[in-house]
Structure 1
Amino acid sequence: MSTPTPTDPIPRRKLSDEVFDRLHTMIVEGAVAPGDPMPSERALMDRFGVGRPVVREALQTLNTMGLITVSHGERSRVNAITPQSALAQLDGMAQTLLSVAPENLGHLKDARRMFELGLVRVAALQRSSEDLTALHHLIAMQAAARDQPDDFVAADIAFHARIIAIAGNPVITALADAMLKWIFHNHGALLHWSGHEDTTLSEHRQIVAAIDAQDAQAAVAHMATHLDRSAGLKQRD
């Protein structure tokens, strides 16, 4: 791609792009806070001297980015911007990527493995009694859902997400949660657990026992065994 020179003509921008920039600045600088309504379409038309289609296009771009929520018949409202909400904007693209280039699923599973092995070590060193209680509760929920595949998988995801959350780093938590969602939620073929429920539960109990003992090395070893075993099963199903 060539670099523009001082003599290159300056491309004309769409009016909606200019309106978007100003609204984006309002949100970033806190002129409108999360939960606040955006100015009405009429107010924005008067403020910027543009027509309704221009305002609506700018608002729709903000909505697509997850910065606001557009509701029919109501004023748009500003969304809270968090690591989770930022990464949620990638859900559709991630699903498309894994559909058109399935080989990336293996790369994603490798990334998940690296994340979780590091995070289970942190969990073993930082866990609280509340964390242990939550993990035991999730295992009990999963055991009660042996004959309910959807609930069993949901409890499985929640178990891994709870371990990840112990690190207390919202960015890492959001990244790891997103990977779990992309792997499990977007690929129904990977959700086949029939016949392996007891093995999964046993491995989860071993992981929690190591976390409880604050044995980071054992926690990593058990998690590696669990992820490698379950990945192998899913690949064969």
Structure 2
Amino acid sequence: MNRAQAGDRIVRRKLSDQVLERMHDMIRSGELKPGDYMPSERALMERFGVGRPAVREALQSLHNSGLITINHGERSRVKEINPATILTQSDELARLVLSAAPANLDHLKHARQMFELGMVRVAAEKASAADVAELRALVALQRSQLGDATAFIGTDMKFHRKLAALTDNPIIVSVSDAMLGWLFEYHVSLLHRSGGEELTLAEHDKIVDHIADHDVDGAIEEMRHHLERTRDVFQMKS
């Protein structure tokens, strides 16, 4: 007999993996929609002709991937999946990656800069008077929070989130939120050590002025200066 080629071998799959695949199909097809309760364990056992361990392992895998919620004493429910929930699932891994090597944090800051420059371009092109007023209100709120680094950075994140929201692109908003969240603890420490609050406020004021004037090039250049200044300070302090 000829030996079977590696690609021809039939691999016996775990029952739980097969159950998981069927459950994915139930969600993808719309049979189970966001907010729906998952069928009971017994119903799933009967439907797929498997035992309780395979069903429980598959449900746990769905939970680990963020597709369902599991609460003690309640049936599992299908979660609404959007870019934000997907990125939230990677929060802990992202923080581990950032702490693993200093270069990773710098890579993240560079990626954020690329995002922010594109976002501020769109903001300068399309921001309404109401949008500009909201941005100015956020800068004013930041000014009132001088001396409270955590609150100051929280409002800073809202300022940048508003710029992201002006793109009308939920993926950009979610990625921007995720990157800001991963950088949050580093930024609090940085502001506290560098005394950078006043510089941040002045730069935010200039960015908003360019946006109000629909000065795309000016807004991009000011944002570039703002982000590069914070990167340089971080590198000096790290």
Q: Same fold (TM over 0.5)?
A: yes
- The one-letter code sitting in structure 2 at the alignment partner of 1:231 is R
Q: Distance in 2 between matches of 1:38 and 1:76?
A: 5
Q: Distance in 2 between matches of 1:229 and 1:187?
A: 13
Secondary structure of the corresponding residue to residue 228 of structure 2 = helix
Secondary structure of the corresponding residue to residue 23 of structure 1 = helix
**Structure 1 equivalent of residue 123 of structure 2:** 123
Contact in 2 for aligned 1:15/1:54 (Cα 8 Å):
yes
Shift of 1:63: 0.8
**Structure 2 equivalent of residue 198 of structure 1:** 198
Secondary structure of the corresponding residue to residue 192 of structure 1 = helix
Shift of 1:194: 5.5
Q: Distance in 2 between matches of 1:45 and 1:108?
A: 45
2:154 matches 1:154 = yes
Q: Distance in 2 between matches of 1:187 and 1:11?
A: 49
Q: CA RMSD in A?
A: 1.9
Give deviations 1:44-69, integer Å, cap 9, x for gaps. 12211222221111111111111111
Show the 5 A alignment for 1:148-187: 148-185=148-185
Q: Distance in 1 between matches of 2:128 and 2:192?
A: 32
Specify whether residues 100 and 122 from structure 1 end up closer, same or farther in structure 2 by C-alpha distance, changes over 3 A only: same
Q: Distance in 1 between matches of 2:185 and 2:177?
A: 11
> Could you state the TM-score of these two structures normalised by the residue count of structure 2?
0.91
Percent of aligned pairs with the same residue?
Answer: 50
Shift of 1:192: 3.3
Specify whether residues 191 and 30 from structure 1 end up closer, same or farther in structure 2 by C-alpha distance, changes over 3 A only: farther
Q: Distance in 2 between matches of 1:194 and 1:144?
A: 19
Structure 1 unmatched ranges of 5 or more: none
Structure with the higher fraction of residues in helix conformation: 2
**Structure 2 equivalent of residue 16 of structure 1:** 16
**Structure 2 equivalent of residue 226 of structure 1:** 226
Aligned residues: 234
Secondary structure of the corresponding residue to residue 72 of structure 2 = coil
Give deviations 1:190-235, integer Å, cap 9, x for gaps. 4536522111111111101110110011101111111111122222
Specify whether residues 75 and 187 from structure 1 end up closer, same or farther in structure 2 by C-alpha distance, changes over 3 A only: farther
Show the 5 A alignment for 1:1-237: 5=5, 8-185=8-185, 189-190=189-190, 192=192, 195-237=195-237
Give deviations 1:121-162, integer Å, cap 9, x for gaps. 111001123322221221122111112111111111111111
- The one-letter code sitting in structure 2 at the alignment partner of 1:75 is R
Contact in 1 for aligned 2:68/2:76 (Cα 8 Å):
yes
> Could you state the TM-score of these two structures normalised by the residue count of structure 1?
0.92
Q: Distance in 1 between matches of 2:230 and 2:206?
A: 15
Range with bigger deviation, 71-80 or 83-92: 83-92
Shift of 1:186: 6.9
Q: Distance in 1 between matches of 2:135 and 2:84?
A: 22
Specify whether residues 57 and 130 from structure 1 end up closer, same or farther in structure 2 by C-alpha distance, changes over 3 A only: farther
List structure 1 segments (4+ residues) > 3 angstroms apart after TM superposition.
Answer: 4-8, 185-194
